[in-house]
Structure 1
Amino acid sequence: MSTISLDKVIAPAFYPIHAAIRKGEAQEVVLAGGRGSLKSSTASLEVWLTLLRRPDCHAVVLRKVGNTLRNSVYAQMMWAADVLGITPYCKATVSPMEIIYTLTGQKVMFFGLDDPGKVKSIKMQRGYVGIVWFEELDQFAGPEEIRNVEQSVLRGGPFSLTLKSFNPPAAARNWANRYVLENKPGKLAHHSTYLTTPTEWLGQRFLDDAAHLENTNPIKYRHEYLGEVVGNGTQVFDNLHLEPISVDQIKHFDRIYNGVDWGWYPDPWAFNRMHYDAGRRVLYIFGEEERQKVRNQETAEIVKKWIDPDEIVTADSAENKSCDDYRAFGVRCREAEKGPGSVAYSMKWLQGLSAICIDPERCPRTAREFAEYEYTTTKDGEPTNEYPDADNHHIDAVRYAMERVWRRRGR
């Protein structure tokens, strides 16, 4: 087997992912990105590299539809074998569709989930299946289908690694886009674009096509080449930025606002903490809590852990008694003024900000609500100018928290 420098085949953007897999720090890696981002190339390389380190381990590679395997992941795995110099030791067949690494007998097996019975019936004479790669993750039915496969295939071995790669769909509500935002022990999420790929690996034609689309259709460019969740034209917040907010940033936040939306069940009680940079007109949301079937005294204690004693919490005025309870429990709680037109005005104020920055790790539910919030549509699918009163608990908490700012500006 020839020796190859990995920095010649793995792009720098993926070095942290490669290191985490090699050290055994990642059980699951979600690779999202646009065209030319090398997510599938990296996944195929990591499958082989992991197999070479673990000679008792086998791999399963999946797509939703079986007849797409040969020209996609099967060809991709053969490419990776060639790049790594192990093609002379690979026996490849298409019926059954598999690649055998002849030095150890390890297999890479390919299946489509349009015939799920084949996956459930996998039996290995020697070793175990420790690696599963789901390509085009968003094309699968949803997290339950993925979970069922993992539970069926990843059994009996001391090691497991799941790779999930896809181009993010435009709609924020797509289950795969939601899945990326979910925190889970051992899970790493990575986003890459062609801009993080060495230009000599792409070729001038690719770069020219990307530049042309950027100039002629910026939204399509952002979706196809940058892998951004651009929405279907009905999203309310075009100024949303889902990005980490560091501890150092939070230490320097000096204009803090807190908001509460009351709830019990099925609607939750929601709390948010944020900073507003008035000069730059940027809102930073860095704290959230959410509970169901929890009494006011308990939620008041949760809030008190977040705030200083002299801070104000603005809450929904629809429950005056709850606001009274908070004051009795030592929280400086004021009722939101609300009134005719307050929802529309506060929403437009939020939409008019330069940016709404939400840390998706610190505030996953808030990030999801803002990303998925869309205008209501007619029966023909045409968007209206109405804001739906559903799945907006943290949005309401943010509106209440910022009321003192947007009302002042509206006068």
Structure 2
Amino acid sequence: MVAKKVSLKSIIGGGYGRFWNFRGRYRVVKGGRGSKKSATTALWYIINLMKYPLANLLVVRQVHQTHKDSTYAQLKWAAHRLGVSHLWDFKLSPLEIVYRPTGQKILFRGLDDPLKITSITVDVGYLCWAWFEEAFQIRNEDDFDKVDMSIRGALPEGLWKQLTVTFNPWSEKHWLKKRFFDEPNPDVLALTTTYQCNEFLGPDDIKLFEWMRANRPRRYRVEGLGEWGIAEGVIYDNWEEKEFDWREIAKRPGISSAFGLDFGYTADPTAFIATLIDHERKEIYIFDEHYQKAMLNNQIAEMIRYKGYAKEKIIADSAEPKSIEEIRRCGISRIREATKGKDSILNGIQYLQQFKIYVHPKCVNTIVELSNYIWDNKNGTFINKPVDDYNHLMDALRYAVTSNKQQSGSPVGQVSGQTVAAQITW
């Protein structure tokens, strides 16, 4: 094999020296957006798997399906960035990455399939490292512990067991804060990183963070500076994250569907939400979402069509009638304006508070907004007005559900003669 020299400093940059050299059991990094925590972690694993020929890596997310476009793509990028991608096999079925010279593996698992987590074996060497990406999505600490306990057994000299945990700190009530940040432990490296240590950002990226600091100071503290999201004054405490099969929920008598859309572009995302409503039991099931900046109207229409909702009634923000008309002309014929009036926001919130809301784990952005959508605070006292932040999916949810208020809605099982099950792919 021909040796290849690369400059790690030019590829990795600064700000992660302690992370790079720590050998304790837990490396935990909370950080804002653009803090290069995931990129640095991926680079570390590619380099060190090549350096230690008996090591193997398990990569874990809450939902297995989310790996392909996140951790798998990030590790593939890291191999390319280091100029060693020709030494790795990137497999899609099953999803895994194999180091050709030795047969070492990077395995991908989701906590939504616990049996596959507890029965992992490797052909070469030892399973000694695990990476929990977007760990905020792991709401149940016991799920983390099961994987933690699976990284066990004696190792040869020179190897060590280690779990790396990376996440955005959306809520201070998450178990990660107490376990890794509030109780000092010599076997834990707990770091907070920000975009300010990422020398690879462009001027436009920095400009966006500066805009956020001036216009969305609360969001800037979390997404810019990596500080914990404050959970006091949360508007909705009537929700929980829950695995469910929307197809089974849809079979209930009287279930109706409701879809909402809130527009955004440069600073704010376009937010789309899909729900099932059980009026008799007072339950709402949020089973799909879309959350993306810089979407043109034709792209929004294509997204709705791709997801299988083109024939559904979709309630959109009435502040943009031109956008609604353009989307309608793109074939989303049943899109309608939301009805607004005096106190419509408060009335909609009060109506939603009457329901128990269940959110599927795949709806990550909905979970983030529900955790951070709070009442405004004046001089230490909460007032009857929401903070204008973390509210894009919340507005879309309000449009969808309140429009369904006086009607049973279209039967969930039927969309233009086809079943929803036939249209929606997960």
What is the TM-score when the length of structure 2 is the normalising length? 0.52
Q: How far 1:164 moved relative to its partner?
A: 0.3
1:54 corresponds to 2:52 = yes
> Map of 1:11-410 to 2, 5 A cutoff?
11-20=13-22, 25-158=23-156, 159-169=160-170, 171-181=171-181, 182-198=183-199, 201-234=200-233
Report Cα offsets for 1:148-173 as digits up to 9, x if no partner.
1121244443421110000101x322
1:56 and 1:128 in contact (8 A); partners too: yes
1:33 and 1:226 in contact (8 A); partners too: yes
Q: How far 1:71 moved relative to its partner?
A: 0.3
Match of 1:5 in 2: 7
1-side partners of 2:81 and 2:376: how far apart?
A: 49
Q: How far 1:233 moved relative to its partner?
A: 4.6
Residue 161 of structure 2 aligns with an amino acid whose one-letter code is: S
Q: Secondary structure at the match of 2:86?
A: helix
2-side partners of 1:152 and 1:26: how far apart?
A: 17
Q: How far 1:230 moved relative to its partner?
A: 3.8
Residue 205 of structure 2 aligns with an amino acid whose one-letter code is: F
Residue 6 of structure 1 aligns with an amino acid whose one-letter code is: L
1:32 and 1:167 in contact (8 A); partners too: yes
2:139 and 2:174 in contact (8 A); partners too: no
Cα 1:139/1:155, change in 2 over 3 Å: farther
Residue 229 of structure 1 aligns with an amino acid whose one-letter code is: W
1-side partners of 2:106 and 2:227: how far apart?
A: 31
Q: Secondary structure at the match of 2:40?
A: helix
1-side partners of 2:10 and 2:63: how far apart?
A: 32
2-side partners of 1:184 and 1:222: how far apart?
A: 26
2-side partners of 1:209 and 1:221: how far apart?
A: 10
1:129 and 1:155 in contact (8 A); partners too: no
Q: How far 1:214 moved relative to its partner?
A: 1.1
Stretches of structure 1 lacking an aligned partner (at least 5 in a row): 236-379, 387-411
2-side partners of 1:94 and 1:231: how far apart?
A: 39
What is the TM-score when the length of structure 1 is the normalising length? 0.54
Residue 124 of structure 2 aligns with an amino acid whose one-letter code is: R
Between 1:39-48 and 1:2-11, the stretch displaced more is 2-11
Higher helix residue share: 1
Report Cα offsets for 1:112-136 as digits up to 9, x if no partner.
1101111211122221101100001
Cα 1:381/1:14, change in 2 over 3 Å: closer
Q: How far 1:175 moved relative to its partner?
A: 1.2
Q: How far 1:383 moved relative to its partner?
A: 8.6
Aligned length: 236
Tell me the C-alpha RMSD between the 2 structures. Answer: 2.4
1:33 and 1:191 in contact (8 A); partners too: yes
2-side partners of 1:191 and 1:203: how far apart?
A: 21
Residue 58 of structure 2 aligns with an amino acid whose one-letter code is: V
Name which one, 1 or 2, has greater alpha-carbon Rg.
Answer: 1
Q: How far 1:184 moved relative to its partner?
A: 2.4
